[in-house]
């Protein structure tokens, strides 16, 4: 009988880990209104999101039909979709910067087209806001990009996410593959060179990201952002756990 209940416990515990389908909202900050159109339908970026569902400030061919006002350095984007192609109703993305710029990634692939453009860090730095975030809890990925010190890499200053204060400086790559070795996305830290900064456990209904103005070789530019839903345990899993507790109580 112990084996039977052990199996039941393991099964329901595994069920508790099952979660509702997670989603994410990805936005590419382009530096050119024409040369960064997607060339095919494929998964790209830190979270491997289909190009069809990758929002972009230049509203490229092959992407979702976003509505863009303003310019590539300062503007507004609506009609956003998530990674599943579902409309993000009521959410508006606004951003301001000193303007768009580019690095040496080129445009030879969709991954390169994602990496090549970025919001530059002159003036007062970068400010990004996404209203009506549709997730109760979420993680924020800030994709790093710069022409500073390429192809070896550079120092990225930290960003203030939702008013929680600026994070530490980290070691950044200019773009994926910039030194011929960084062929997969890696989280950047003060001691590990990488492609993105990750901020977890956010709950604000309006996401704000503030960047710092360039300080000599220390940069504060942004190539893309991802807002990743942190899914809650499914109702079935919670019901199963409740049933397990009742069974074990009766066994006593």
Residue 205 has pLDDT above 50, yes or no: yes
Q: What is the pLDDT of residue 2?
A: 47
Q: What is the pLDDT of residue 251?
A: 55
The pLDDT mean for the chain works out to 89
Instruction: Give the pTM.
Output: 0.87
Task: Compute the distance between CA of residue 219 and CA of residue 209 in angstroms, rounded to an integer.
Answer: 15
**Which residues contact residue 91 at a Cβ distance below 8 angstroms, ignoring those fewer than 6 apart?**
25, 78, 80, 130, 131, 132, 133, 134
Q: What is the pLDDT of residue 250?
A: 57
- Residue 36: pLDDT band (50, 70, 90) is confident
The pLDDT tens digits for 40-88 are 999 999 999 999 999 999 988 889 999 999 999 999 999 999 999 999 9
10 Å Cβ neighbour count for 173? 28
Long-range contacts of 64-69, Cβ-Cβ distance < 8 Å, separation of 24 or more: none
């Amino acid at each position: 009988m112990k084996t039977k209940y052990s199996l039941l416990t393991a099964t329901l515990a595994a069920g508790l880990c099952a979660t509702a389908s997670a989603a994410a909202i990805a936005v590419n900050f382009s530096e050119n209104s024409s040369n960064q159109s997607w060339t095919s339908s494929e998964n790209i970026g830190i979270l491997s999101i289909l190009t069809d569902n990758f929002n972009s400030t230049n509203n490229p061919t092959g992407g979702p039909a976003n509505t863009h006002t303003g310019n590539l350095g300062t503007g507004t984007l609506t009609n956003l979709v998530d990674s599943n192609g579902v409309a993000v109703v009521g959410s508006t993305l606004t951003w301001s910067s000193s303007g768009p710029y580019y690095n040496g990634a080129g445009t030879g692939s969709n991954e390169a087209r994602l990496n090549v453009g970025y919001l530059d860090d002159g003036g007062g730095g970068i400010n990004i806001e996404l209203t009506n975030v549709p997730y109760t809890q979420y993680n924020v990925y800030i994709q790093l990009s710069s022409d500073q010190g390429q192809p070896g890499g550079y120092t990225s200053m930290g960003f203030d996410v939702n008013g929680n204060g600026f994070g530490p400086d980290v070691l950044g790559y200019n773009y994926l593959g910039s030194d011929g070795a960084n062929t997969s996305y890696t989280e950047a830290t003060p001691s590990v060179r990488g492609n993105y900064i990750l901020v977890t456990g956010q709950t604000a209904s309006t996401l704000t990201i503030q960047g710092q103005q360039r300080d000599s070789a220390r940069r504060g530019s942004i190539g893309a952002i991802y807002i990743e839903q942190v899914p809650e345990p499914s109702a079935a899993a919670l019901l199963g756990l409740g049933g397990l507790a009742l069974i074990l109580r009766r066994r006593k």
